[in-house]
Amino acid sequence: MTSDATVVVRYGEASRAAVEQTLRSLVRKQGILLLILGVLFGVLVLVPLVAAATAVDGVDAAFFLGAIVLLVVPVALGALGVRQLRRQPRVPEVAVTITPAAVLFPALDRPSALAPRIRAEEWTREGTSAEILPASGLQAARVEFTRQDGGKRRRRSIATGNLDVDARVIVDALRSPHTS
């Protein structure tokens, strides 16, 4: 491989579609569970509040303020559940691009409503290393990119099982000398 070659690593179409389908079902299940949790928590809060309001003759403003504060949690859980049901996480076509001057990572959606999206990043090629690490769970291995950036260690990793090229091609592309 020449040092001026650009290596574009893509996700395989079949595995990309399978991962997206799995993510959609996970997101849907999480949304439904958040809605159920919000309703259950709302009932657990609302029933004692209604019982306390009917048991006492005069209900003051502090009681209503307390009721509103206690009902914030079930409303927030319901809103998160609806937000989660509306999410459509997508896997980008390109996993990583290695140019003669930089390593480019695409933006990634996370399956959780609370987790922010991982932004696209561009690392300079100089000082960026990659190694193949064994992974646990469903992944056979992953390629981990590491860069020391102003005293802070930065890492990004991609699973090797979903890629259209062998992981050694990625590691070799970063190890080869580059010209700027």
Q: Is residue 78 part of a domain?
A: yes
> Of the candidates 71, 178, 73, 80, which has an alpha carbon nearest to the alpha carbon of residue 129?
178
Q: Is residue 115 part of a domain?
A: yes
What is the value of pTM for the model shown? 0.73
Q: Is residue 18 part of a domain?
A: no
What local confidence, expressed as pLDDT, does residue 178 receive?
Answer: 56
> Of the candidates 144, 148, 163, 171, which has an alpha carbon nearest to the alpha carbon of residue 14?
163
Q: Is residue 104 part of a domain?
A: yes
Q: Are residues 161 and 114 in the same domain?
A: yes
Q: Are residues 128 and 152 in the same domain?
A: yes
pLDDT in tens, 26-60: 999 999 999 999 999 999 888 888 787 777 776 77
What local confidence, expressed as pLDDT, does residue 121 receive?
Answer: 92
What local confidence, expressed as pLDDT, does residue 36 receive?
Answer: 96
User: Whole domain around residue 45: which residue ranges?
Assistant: 25-86
Residue where a domain stops, chosen among 36, 59, 86: 86
Q: Is residue 106 part of a domain?
A: yes
Q: Are residues 47 and 64 in the same domain?
A: yes
Please return the burial class of 137, using the count of CB atoms within 10 Å of its CB with bins 0-12, 13-18 and 19+.
exposed
Q: Are residues 75 and 135 in the same domain?
A: no
Q: Are residues 115 and 161 in the same domain?
A: yes
Spell out the per-residue pLDDT of the chain, length 180, in tens.
Answer: 445 678 899 988 888 898 889 889 999 999 999 999 999 999 988 888 878 777 777 677 777 788 788 889 999 999 999 999 998 888 899 999 999 889 999 998 888 877 788 899 999 888 888 999 887 766 678 899 999 888 888 999 888 888 888 888 888 888 876 555
Q: Is residue 46 part of a domain?
A: yes
DSSP calls for 39-75: HHHHHHHHHHHHHHHHHSS---HHHHHHHHHHHHHHH
pLDDT in tens, 138-149: 667 889 999 988
Q: Is residue 102 part of a domain?
A: yes
